[in-house]
Amino acid sequence: MLQNYSLSQLREAKEREPFSGIYLNNKESGMYHCVCCDSPLFSSEKKYCSGTGWPSFSEAHGTSGSDESNTGILRRVDTSLGPARMEVVCKQCEAHLGHVFPDGPGPAGQRFCINSVALTFKPRKR
């Protein structure tokens, strides 16, 4: 069951404190899913340490090149803190997941900065 702060964060797009999430240092292989609807969102294969204090991914699960139409995410412009930035929400239930920034690794150069409370992790079966 989600704690009250978690529900508020997911509905009102609030951010958690950096370095406070349970998945920040998770190194297991598997898939990160939406905590609200269980949609698969990010693979551990695309997770990396960005040093920002939030779990970071270079792309969403299902991305093909620059095409995100088969992913579980949507992007929305967010101006809540002034300058525009790109919010990331779950495509199925519209829960706030975090933000994406254009300073990541790899050819796409993206950093999906995702809140741990928005995720559940399912380890890869061996």
> What phi and psi values does residue 45 have, to the nearest 5 degrees?
-65, -25
- Amino acid present at 45: E
Q: 90 pairs with which residues across the strands?
A: 73
- Amino acid present at 123: P
Task: State yes or no: is 49 an active-site residue.
Answer: no
Q: What is the 3-state secondary structure (H, E, C) of the chain?
A: CCCHHHHHHHHHCCCCCCCCCCCCCCCCCEEEEECCCCCEEEEHHHEECCCCCCCEECCCCCCECCECCCCCEEEEEECCCCCCEEEEEECCCCCEEEEEECCCCCCCCCEEEECHHHEEEEECCC
Q: State the catalytic residue, choosing from 34, 36, 90, 113.
A: 113
Catalytic residues: 113
